[in-house]
Structure 1
Amino acid sequence: MNKHQLTLCAALAVATLGTVGCTRTSEQEQGTEAVQADKHLSQLFDNYYEARLQLFPMEATGIADNRYNDQLPNDLSQEHTEQVRQLYQRYLDKINQIDRSQLDAQEQVSYDIFKYEMQMSLEGLKQPANLLPVNQFWGLPITMAQLGSGSSNQPFKTPEDYQNFLGRIKGFTVWGDTAIANMRRGMSMGVVLPRTLTQKVLPQLQAMVVNDPTKSIFWAPVEKLPDTFTAVQKDSIRQAYTKAITEEVIPTYKKLHDFMQQEYLPKSRSTTGISGIKGGDDYYKYLVRYWTTTDMTPDQIFETGQQEVARIRSEMEKVKEQVGFKGDLKAFFQHVNDNPKFTPFKTPEEVLAAYSQIEQRMQPQLNKLFGITPKSKFEVRQTEAFRAASASAEYNPPAPDGSRPGIFYVPILDAKTYNMVGMESLFLHEAIPGHHYQISIQQEQEGLPKFRQYAWYGAFGEGWALYSESLGEELGLYTDPYQYFGRLSDEMHRALRLVVDVGMHAKGWTREQAIQYSLDNELTSREAAVAEIERYMAIPGQALSYKIGELKIKELRQRAQHALGDRFNISAFHDLILKGGVMPLAVLEKKVDEWIEVQKKS
């Protein structure tokens, strides 16, 4: 047992909470009991989060907690899975011993979120995710390359930082062996990737197999050794990284590549959706609940998607008429894709500058819509070359201590073909006031338990980001009808996800059917449509979170406006949504309803 395991055991042992809330014989006893409940609850949350970080040290690195930067537990192993299961079960038992009625409103929200999280996490451990550890969209082989490049969360500032990452490299070699063992088990059970996805993974793995360690992306931090290091320290690091890359990193990627090419590819399935694996129907139903945080059925989501697609198409037709385009909607898509006036850039720097100009244009309006704004810094960066081909635009959260800004990553394969239509809505979503506001404000809230400060629920987080796109006109954007058309196309992109995701995973749609549905209904290229559809194939249900969350936030705003009339304050409403951080949609709805009642009485 190492020191981290000992600390984990100690943390879990400390968290032995008794039942709170027995017979109440007086107001004084009741008040004492409430204080005890608060004390027990905050201690429970603290103990849980401390124990969690030791089992998931990459999460600690992500929030600039550097205590476990050398750790990479084998999260595919049965031993680790059992440790995680015990953690969730232990804390579910403890939260059930707390008397919810003795808590204040904020604590009750925390209680509800925590209990939901423990229950869903325990159910998730019964699913076959560990048999599908690698795909082209996300997974440890991609994450390790990002961390090892020095451009992500892993710090490379001190000699100890460089030493720490060598520990993670050792962990990666163990993980790679278990990934292969788990995939072999999956092969024997019929739990495998679709063939097209396996084919996408192979070049990603092959790209990491180089003859010269100094040509590896993992060498990048060694190229940038700080001047403050001594000559002896620099030489030692160079030798250690040469050895680690040559003997551990490259062989691990090669082993994964060769296994997937020689053994796994022939056994990969021809079916598209997750229903094609053993137990896939039940797995998808779980994933739908997990990603939407609702009890909506796949059929209900499919129907909602079809309604939204029809509504947005009619809005698109209006824009087409407004600009005087002659031809059908599909021809208009082609026009927007191909017209040279929409690709005015020559260099990646020009693309990044255009995004910065969007921020400057809407800055004066932000204070009208938001009372609270992030303290964290923010940057727009080009996505690293090694992953740009398969990456979407994305947001990487800031470090809570200010050591790393929030970063909006933009993949620019060729600036000369980068289409400007939709840049405004993309910035609103990924950057401001989308992910940057939501995540930064959540992390910066004092008084929130850490498990809430650093939590993520896709339906809320992505729902907020998509809702943010709808604020463009209020923020002084979308004055160009083509930018507004870009916003509609982005909204359509999220609406048709409801149709194609459910279509593929629950209704027997093929990859080709889903690609064609995308091409028929949105502004996209075939190449982009293929990449998106294969993303939904790789991570079933995740794409449902955006539109389901946005529809709920819009519904709650309309409800509040209707109920409060002139008393409705948009800035106060947005602050209410953001200050509590992400949460399941049912918990959010209850919170907004309670706020509306308070506003009525004020």
Structure 2
Amino acid sequence: MPFKKILPVSSLTLALVTSGMLLTQTHMATAADVIPVQEVIKSKKQLAELADAFYTARVKFDPLQFATINGDGRFNDQLGINIAPQNRARQFALMHKMQKQLKQIKRNHLAEKDQLNYDLLAFELESALHFEHFPEHLLPINQMDNVPSTLANFASGDGAQPLTTVAQYYAYLKRLELLPAWIAQAKTNMQEGIRRGIVHPKSITRAMLPQFQQLAAKTAEQSIYYTPIKHFPAQFSVEDKQRLTKAYQQTIQTKLNPALTQLLHFLETDYLKAGRESTGYNALPNGAAWYQMRIKDHTTTDLKPEQIHALGLQEVARIQQQWTELGPRLGYTGPAIDLPQWVEAQDKFKSFNSDAEVLEAYRQIDAKVRAKLPELFNLLPKGKLELQLEPELSRATASDHYTPPAADGSVPGIFWPVVNDPKKYSRVGMATLFLHEGQPGHHLHAALLKEIDLPLYRKFNTENLNSAAFTEGWALYSETLGKELGLYDNPEYYFGHLNDELLRAVRLVVDTGMHAKGWTREQAISYMQKNLGYSEARAKNQIERYMVLPGQALAYKIGARKILELRAKAEQALGNKFSLAKFHEVIIGDGTLPMPILEAQVDHWIAKNK
């Protein structure tokens, strides 16, 4: 933007130094295009203030998803009824207002790093509006994700919400006091869903019932939410213990247990009766557009279901071709297509007798990985990784997962393997699972986010649904590093890696099959059993996950393929100048990025170093 008065050389230099902006040769030729220092400072301040306001608005709308689970414990006494229609309307209106405010900030007045902040804030605001016109709130609970079960899993104090101080006990209690109102709203929403034909399939409601049957206790003392009272820290005073015990008993007995009992009765009767026989979102009102938006939200791309389905079939065929070579190394000489079924049936790959033995095996893998990580990464987090088994409440329906560390270091990153029966737990998938859920997968990314200098909306962005293409794509890409880390010299571990990669390819097929091509639940279960060798129960657990989280399972393969594509591009362009450790720094050094912005970052790095 030209200005009326030309700056002297000294002022020009000051503007460049202060703003950190780079000028082209054209800019160096004239001061007429130089942006005054005060304009740079003003734009930077406006962006920072808007970014902070956006973060605050988002965490108040959903403090569980956007704060606690992402490691920000400042809102651990808040719940946020984000499923209430009036709250949704206010949030969408606020996001529209912030979009207008962002457009008033002059992007070209910002330094390079601030321009990235600008672009990412624009992306986050757009993503926050993805489901403005889709009734997500009418499906408020499922067996994979519901607020009552999330708070129940926090009751141990081992998860994202710590319970080590009196203040933390009261923060958790406050959430329990707020939970009945959330449950009442969820029930109201589901009744509206019944009237509008927006309900879960009957099979999903049946999958939910065991969780809510466990949650609806008859007495406060029998409730899982009472767990903190049974495990007071030693330093608590007698008076604090007495006050907390009375408060928890009263809240759970008089408010929470009745609300959960009413919800369970509603699920067992009205909601189950109203459940649909169909499987996918294409059977819901405006379901095709709804699913397409979920694809966009999870993958940060505009890929169509048909494209993703075709890619899935192609990837399944490619990976299965490798069974011919790998089978004999495992002692298998039958048809290649049946290798996964054969491995699943072999007791020789199942050598554990206890949960403790499984955990120790994971710790040994962790030790091997940690020893070699410095060869592949310039950036490594200070935050520690711990391993804990999935709690018994959610073990039957949960998937292996990771929770990020708290920003203040009070809670470490935790990898939660799901072990239902250690004697049936196979060794083959352990290495690739650890690389994905532990390190260098989710932990390296999430822990680094807490340690690098970023705005809050970027720092606490590991578990948000619209970041799945990066977070899950990075974790799946990390599985491929088992070769560099020396783990896949073991044919058992290499089979596990390929089989998990095959799982991600199968997901492309079954997710789009159910939600866009009319596949039934049973058809999807059969396809998964045939191609992965899963038992019917295991395939059912996976398929029902994809039924209630449409598009989420697509993010893994879509994101990982993009990172592998960018690595190949960089290797070819830079030749002997290519550094894998530096490439990884570019990928994760700026936190969580949508795929288009990530590609632009890598292209910029290539151009700068070519």
TM-score of the superposed pair, with normalisation by structure 1: 0.93
Does the Cα contact within 8 Å between 2:62 and 2:81 map onto a contact in 1? no
Could you tell which deviates more after superposition, 105-114 or 279-288? 105-114
Match of 1:37 among 14, 25, 43: 43
Match of 2:321 in 1: 314
1:112 aligns with 2:119: yes
Shift of 1:209: 1.9
Following superposition, the deviation at residue 429 of structure 1 comes to 0.4
2:57 aligns with one of 27, 51, 55: 51
Alignment check: 8 A CA contact 1:274 1:281 kept: yes
Residue by residue over 1:530-578, the C-alpha shift from the partner in whole angstroms, topping out at 9 and shown as x without a partner, is 1000000011000000000000000000000000000000000001111
What is the rounded CA distance, in whole Å, between the counterparts of 2:293 and 2:189 in structure 1?
A: 21
The SS at the match of 1:123 is coil
1:26 to partner: Cα distance: 3.5
Change (3 A) 1:567 1:29: closer
> What is the CA distance between 1:67 and its match in structure 2?
4.1
**Residue of 484, 509, 523 corresponding to 2:519:** 509
- Correspondence for 1:567 among 551, 573, 577: 577
1:440-459 maps to which residues of 2 (within 5 A)?
A: 440-446=447-453, 448-456=454-462, 457-459=467-469
**Deviates most, 66-75 or 104-113:** 66-75
Aligned partner of 1:336 among 328, 336, 343:
343
Contact map agreement 1:434 1:465 (CA 8 A) in 2: yes
Aligned to 1:353: 360
What is the aligned partner in structure 1 of residue 283 from structure 2? Answer: 276
Report the equivalent of 2:549.
539
Structure-2 separation of matches of 1:51 and 1:510: 39
Aligned counterparts of 1:161 and 1:404: Cα–Cα separation in 2:
13
Match of 1:476 in 2: 486
Q: In 1, distance between residues paired with 2:94 and 2:336?
A: 53
Counterpart code for 1:141? P
Distance change (3 Å), C-alpha of 1:352 and 1:571? same
Contact 2:429 2:497 in 1 (8 A): yes
Q: Percent identity between the aligned chains?
A: 40
Which of 91, 95, 101 pairs up with 2:98? 91
Residues 152-206 of structure 1 show CA distances to partners (whole Å, capped at 9, x for unaligned) of: 2223233332222222112110111111111111111110001100001111101
Aligned to 1:155: 162
Q: How does 1:76-475 map to 2 (within 5 A)?
A: 76-446=83-453, 448-456=454-462, 457-475=467-485
1:89, distance to aligned residue in structure 2 (A): 1.3
**Partner Cα separation in structure 2 for residue 125 and residue 146 of structure 1:** 30
Q: Which moved more, 1:478-487 or 1:101-110?
A: 101-110
Query: Structure 1 CA distance, aligned partners of 2:211 and 2:217?
Result: 12
Cα distance between partner residues in 1 of 2:578 and 2:205:
52
The CA deviation string for residues 49-96 of structure 1, in whole angstroms up to 9 with x for no partner, is: 233333333233345544433222221112211221122112111111
Partner of 2:558: 548
Q: Is residue 150–residue 220 contact of structure 1 (8 Å, CA) maintained in 2?
A: no
Deviation sequence 1:271-295 (CA, Å, 0-9, x none): 0001111111110010010000001
- Structure 1, 75-84 or 415-424: larger mean CA deviation: 75-84
Specify the alignment match of 2:25 in structure 1.
Answer: none
Q: 1:67 to 1:489 in 2, by over 3 A?
A: closer
> How far apart are the structure 2 equivalents of 1:256 and 1:29?
60
Once the two structures are TM-superposed, the CA of residue 510 in structure 1 deviates from its matched residue by: 0.6
SS at match of 1:408: strand
2:502 to 484, 492, 498: 492
3-state SS of paired residue (1:210): coil
CA shift digits 1:302-326 (9 cap, x unpaired): 1111111111011122211444522
Choose 584-593 or 145-154, whichever is displaced more: 145-154
Alpha-carbon distance in structure 1 between the residues aligned to 2:191 and 2:56: 34
* Distance change (3 Å), C-alpha of 1:266 and 1:278: same
CA distance in 2, matches of 1:550, 1:214: 46
Asked whether the 8 Å contact 1:62–1:153 carries over to 2, the reply is yes
Contact 2:138/2:189, CA 8 A, preserved across alignment: yes
Distance 1:63 1:273, change over 3 A: closer
**Residue 81 of structure 2 contacts residue 182 of structure 2 at CA under 8 Å; is this kept in 1?**
yes
Displacement of 1:37 in angstroms is: 1.7
Instruction: Tell me the distance in 1 between the aligned counterparts of 2:555 and 2:348.
Output: 34
1:298 is aligned with what amino acid? P
Q: Is the 2:352–2:425 Cα contact (8 Å) retained in structure 1?
A: yes
- In the alignment, the residues of structure 2 paired with residue 477 and residue 139 of structure 1 have an alpha-carbon distance, to the nearest angstrom, of 36
Q: Quote how far apart the aligned CAs of 1:330 are.
A: 4.7
Retained in 2: the 8 A contact 1:133–1:183?
yes
The answer on whether the counterparts of 2:436 and 2:475 sit within 8 Å (CA) in structure 1 is yes
TM-score (norm 2): 0.92
Following the alignment from structure 1 to structure 2, what is the Cα–Cα distance between the partners of residues 255 and 128?
24
CA distance in 1, matches of 2:256, 2:277: 31
How far residue 213 of structure 1 moved from its aligned partner, in angstroms, is: 2.1
Q: Which letter maps to 2:502?
A: M
Aligned to 1:5: none
Q: Deviations over 1:226-259 (max 9, x none)?
A: 2222222211211111121212222222111100
Which range moved further: 197-206 or 46-55? 46-55
Distance 1:593 1:35 in 2: 28
Deviations 1:356-399 (A, max 9, x none): 11121233321111011011011011111111111111101000
What is the identity, as a one-letter code, of the residue corresponding to 2:573?
A
Instruction: Tell me how far apart the structure 1 counterparts of residues 586 and 60 of structure 2 sit (CA, whole Å).
Output: 32
Give distance in 2, aligned partners of 1:388 and 1:225: 25
Kindly indicate whether the alpha-carbon contact (under 8 Å) linking 2:71 and 2:405 is maintained by their aligned counterparts in 1: no
5+ residue gaps in structure 1?
Answer: 1-23
SS of the aligned residue for 2:598 comes to helix
